[in-house]
Amino acid sequence: FSLVSCCSAQAQTSTSPEREERMEWWREARFGMFVHWGLYSGLAGTWENKPVGEEGGMEWLQFRVRADTDTYAERAMPLFKPTPGFAQSWAKLAKQAGCRYLVFTTKHHDGFALHDSAVTEFDAGSVLNRDLVREIVDACRAEGLRVGFYHSVIDWHHDQYCYLESKQLPHPGNSKPYPNGERDHGRYVEYLHEQVDELVSNYGPVDILWWDYSGVDFQGDEAWRAFDLMANVRDKQPQVIMNNRLFRIPEAGWKGQGMQASIPQLDSQYGDFITPEQHVPENGLPGVDWETCMTMNTTWGYSRYDAQWKSPEKLIRTLIDIASKGGNYLLNIGPLGDGSVPAESVERLAAMGRWMDVNGESIYGSTASPIGKPSWGCVTQNTKTNSLYLHVFNWPSDGKLTVEGIPGAVAKATLLSNSVEIPASQSGADVVLELPKAAPDAIATVIRLQLDGSA
Ligand code: JFZ
């Protein structure tokens, strides 16, 4: 009889003491910065002097305009000019925002590698005589940030890469002619393994490997020799945490690759965490580690046309919502070709940092709330200190906040920002709090409930 229930497939991760140990910092961290940056960044959403579009992923520019890889590279390279010190400014920005880790694109689908690779000339080492991976890793370490490598297994540049091995198809976007009319995808896979080996051998400890991604009909071991690939990474970096995007459950279709709320199975053999993209799973994902990745506007790679920015309030409340459901938030920036960060992103991260400076205690090290989804906001808990954190989004007009389902006796209620005590009266699992008339923080005011006894 299957443990998977009949009506709602409940994901579970099989785990081990080693895995529990390596997940510890990641579960504490709750907030990370994602960076999409590569050749496409200098193009900034423009091709032949026209906007490629007002929204959507501009890191896909080569595909969107159906450019062959040589034309794309020729036009993009002169516009990709990282200034010295760009990496330090990213790391400082992440640190000040309250991020505990930074994950950046070592190679995106266009195939351009940011490190100094011995196995290609389509890399920063050959083109710029710089190792941008080393610069970014060093900058992160200097700020005390954990560091993760996003690595695309899709590669529109490599002349042996095929989207569907069996059909000898190149990926749409790669219009290089087939050498001898035929490709040998196995040779691409060798290249992929070599390049990943460089990345996990030459830059000291790597905290995360963030694979991206498999298609419905070509995935996992068949497509990438995924188990070998992961085993080598694990061998060189025993503590590394990996996502599950090398795999896809074909029956689940395009919606099911663990980017969405539920997949029927997850095992640490397939990756340590699931990556819902651009959304927060309605009820979290109990039993699995998950991280929502999200853009601040609509594109991952920089576009000068995309002006659809989420408000700081929306971003802060999303971080809280995710923490209250037990997940992590990986929030993206798309720097320009010179490595500078759009002012809109800097402002938003600064606002998040100001909120986190005051209220970070309610986010770091928190776990999913035992209290469901109250109408007024979100709740996180810290089981080590036996406290609950009420995040009030909608301030009660009469100043009385009723909290239902408290799993214990409340010893003390305080405003987290200034430790001022809040009068509380409890009857059973319900507590009524007498709040100040006006919300001290219009975005999210946090009230700390200390419960009796220690967990
Ligand atoms: C992938 C990339 O294609 C994209 O450019 C970006 O890097 C993002 C973080 O990851 O986007 C995907 C991949 C797969 C699906 C959706 C978006 N999918 O299967 O639905």
More confident residue, 251 or 165: 251
- Determine the Cα–Cα distance for residues 424 and 414; give it in Å rounded to an integer: 10
Pocket test for ligand 1, best of 277, 298, 302, 331 (most atoms within 8 A of CB): 277
Backbone torsions φ then ψ of 432, nearest 5 degrees: -110, 125
Provide the pLDDT confidence category of residue 66 given band limits of 50, 70 and 90: confident
Pocket of ligand 1 (CB under 6 A): 57, 59-60, 212-213, 254, 257, 259, 277, 293, 300
- Determine the Cα–Cα distance for residues 9 and 50; give it in Å rounded to an integer: 46
Pocket test for ligand 1, best of 213, 218, 295 (most atoms within 8 A of CB): 213
Give the per-residue pLDDT at 442: 97
Spacing of C-alpha 96 from chain mean position: 18
pLDDT (tens digit per residue) in 189-214: 999 999 999 999 999 999 999 999 88
Q: Which residue's alpha carbon is nearest to atom 6 within ligand 1?
A: 300
Residue 274, C-beta contacts closer than 8 angstroms, at least 6 positions apart: 11, 243, 244, 258, 259, 263, 266, 285, 288, 289, 290, 291
> Average pLDDT of 171-187?
63
Mean pLDDT score of the chain: 90
Helices (H), 105-209: 124-128, 132-142, 185-201
Helices then strands, each counted (H, E), the chain: 12, 18
DSSP H or E run through 87: helix 86-97
Report whether pLDDT(252) > 80.
no
Distance 127 CA to ligand 1 centre (A): 27
Give the per-residue pLDDT at 261: 37
Per cent of the chain over pLDDT 90 is: 75
Q: Are 270 and 227 in contact (CB under 8 A)?
A: no
For residue 387, which of 407, 358, 357 has the smallest C-alpha distance? 407
Give the per-residue pLDDT at 250: 65
Pocket test for ligand 1, best of 52, 108, 212, 257 (most atoms within 8 A of CB): 212
pLDDT (tens digit per residue) in 359-402: 999 999 999 989 988 999 999 999 999 999 999 999 999 999 99
Distance 455 CA to ligand 1 centre (A): 40
Report whether pLDDT(170) > 80.
no
Distance 191 CA to ligand 1 centre (A): 22
Report whether pLDDT(217) > 90.
no
ipTM: 0.97
> Average pLDDT of 343-363?
98
The DSSP symbol for 294 reads E
More confident residue, 124 or 222: 124
Q: In 3-state terms, what secondary structure has residue 346?
A: helix
Q: Which residue's alpha carbon is nearest to atom 10 within ligand 1?
A: 212
> Average pLDDT of 295-309?
98
> Average pLDDT of 345-361?
98
For residue 381, which of 350, 354, 415, 406 has the smallest C-alpha distance? 406
The DSSP symbol for 311 reads P
- Determine the Cα–Cα distance for residues 158 and 191; give it in Å rounded to an integer: 9
Distance 302 CA to ligand 1 centre (A): 15
Does this model's pTM top 0.80? My answer is yes
Give the per-residue pLDDT at 193: 98
For residue 211, which of 225, 202, 201, 203 has the smallest C-alpha distance? 225
157-166, 283-292, 306-315: segment of lowest average pLDDT: 157-166
Provide the pLDDT confidence category of residue 440 given band limits of 50, 70 and 90: very high
pLDDT (tens digit per residue) in 21-55: 999 999 999 999 999 999 999 999 999 999 998 89
Give the per-residue pLDDT at 5: 31
Report whether pLDDT(136) > 60.
yes
* Two structure tokens written together for 79: 């516009």
Report whether pLDDT(267) > 80.
no
> Average pLDDT of 210-226?
88
Distance 374 CA to ligand 1 centre (A): 32
Q: Give the number of the atom of ligand 1 that is nearest the alpha carbon of residue 255.
A: 20
64-73, 290-299, 345-354, 406-415: segment of lowest average pLDDT: 64-73
Give the per-residue pLDDT at 6: 30
Distance 61 CA to ligand 1 centre (A): 14
